[in-house]
A and B are shown apart, each in its own frame.
Chain A
Amino acid sequence: MRNGRSTPSARVIEVDIPNDVRHIERVVELVQRECHEMAFGSRQVMLNVSVALTEALSNAILRGNGDDPGKHVHVHASVDRSGIVVEVADEGNGFDLDLCTADPTTPENVGREDGRGLFLMQKLMDRVERFEASTGNVVRLTLHRI
């Protein structure tokens, strides 16, 4: 892991992690710390950022990279007093965000064990985007500080 270019008014985190879900918590802690530094409220740190980032990392590791231990996930987070933008890049082929996001709150879905990850990301972030970049298949999460 390594920190990227940071200034007193903006923090940049740039890390590469092995494709293993045991690394998720460490990345989230790193981002949480920078959000605290930028005076994000507790709810935004502990609920919005933590859960949405965990979902993005989990999707990248298990789905994008197919749980392949030989692959990596790249994370780039930029945090300032206006908000946070996090990009999570995997080595997969990407997916259609709209097609893959189901509503887990319908009567037929609420008892399902899976299918809440993308829904939570969209509910907890101001914007969720997916695109291809030189770093791979990217999910970008944007949250404005309140």
Chain B
Amino acid sequence: MTFSIKTEGGVVVVDVEGQLIVGNRQELKQKILEELDRGAKKFLIDFTRTGYIDSSGLGVLVSLSKKIRDQGGELRLANLNDDLKTLFELTKLDTLFQIAETREGALASF
């Protein structure tokens, strides 16, 4: 599991490679909050290379979304595979997040 962060067109883009679960969610949270503290406002998490997400991973996304919004920023998600989409639909988190089919689509939507 790794989280890689880069900035593309003023958007902080995080790639989640592997699982986003209870054992690593704090690392993701810390990395994004560091960028938020540095003044970043636009965030995109790309799940192209993500295996599965557990409830802790979902919880950290909810938490980050709130913190980013509180600072006047936006968090968007992209490239959820069918299994991950099902997970978001089951928990109705698809109603809470802006989810794009592609990274390009998400970047263009800011």
Contacts and interface: CB of A to CB of B under 8 A. Distances in A.
A58 B91 contact: no
Given A21-B23, A25-B19, A58-B22, A50 B92 contact: no
A46 B93 contact: no
Interface string B39-83: 000000000000111111011101100100000000000000011
A110 B51 CA distance: 23
Contacts, number: 78
A51 B52 contact: yes
B77 to A, nearest CB: 16
Interface string B70-110: 00000000000011001100111101100000000000000
A104 B53 CA distance: 16
B48 to A, nearest CB: 15
Contacts of A114: 55, 59
A110 B22 contact: no
B21 interface: yes
Interface string A91-126: 000000000000011000011111111011001100
A47 interface: yes
A62 interface: yes
Contact of A120 (B1, B91, B96): B91
25 contacts: A21-B21, A24-B21, A25-B19, A43-B82, A46-B51, A47-B52, A51-B52, A54-B19, A54-B22, A58-B22, A62-B22, A104-B91, A105-B90, A105-B92, A110-B95, A110-B96, A111-B66, A114-B59, A116-B55, A116-B58, A116-B59, A120-B55, A120-B90, A123-B90, A124-B90
